[in-house]
Amino acid sequence: MKRRQFVGGLAATAGLAACSGQSGDCDNGSTTSTDSFEWSCVTAWPPKYPGLGMAVENLADRIAAASSGRLRIKVYGGGELVPAFEAFDAVSRGTVEMGHDASYYQKGKVDAAQFFAAIPFGLNHLELNGWLYYGGGLDLWRELYAPFNIVPFPCGNTGVQMGGWFNREINSVGDLKGLKMRIPGLGGEVMRRAGATPVTMPGSEIFMSLQTGAIDATEWVGPYNDVSFGLHKAAKYYYYPGWQEPGAGLECMINADAWASLPADLQAIVASACQAITADMMAEFTHGNATALQQLINDANVEIRPFPDDVLRLLKSHTRDVVNELSAKDPAWKKIADSYYAFMERSTENQRVTEWANIKTRDL
pLDDT digit string, tens, across residues 252-288:
999 999 999 999 999 999 999 999 999 999 999 999 9
| Residues of the domain holding 143 | 35-157+246-287
- Place 32 in a pLDDT band, splitting at 50, 70 and 90: low
CATH of the domain at 57: 3.40.190.170
> Do the domain assignments include residue 51?
yes
On whether both 236 and 317 belong to a single domain, the answer is: yes
* Same-domain status, 39 and 122: yes
Q: How confident is the model at residue 26 (pLDDT cuts 50, 70, 90)?
A: low
Q: Which residue, 90, 102, 107, is CA-closest to 333? A: 107
82: Cβ–Cβ under 8 A, 6 or more apart, which residues? 42, 76, 89, 90, 95, 96
Do residues 254 and 170 both lie within one domain?
Answer: no
Give ∠ CA 123-273-61 in degrees, rounded to 5. 125
Question: What is the model's pLDDT at position 20?
Answer: 39
Confidence class for position 23, pLDDT limits 50, 70, 90: very low
Q: 232, 261, 287 — which closes off a domain?
A: 287
Q: In the structure, what pLDDT confidence band is assigned to residue 34 with cuts at 50, 70 and 90?
A: confident
pTM for the full predicted model: 0.90
Considering the domain architecture, whether residues 203 and 111 belong to the same structural domain is answered as no
Is a pLDDT exceeding 70 seen at residue 5? Answer: no
165 neighbors 217 (Cβ within 8 angstroms)? yes
Please report, for the domain that includes residue 323, its CATH number: 3.40.190.10
Distance (Å, rounded) from C-alpha 123 to C-alpha 341? Answer: 9
Same domain membership, residue 56 and residue 128? yes
Same domain, 309 and 261: no
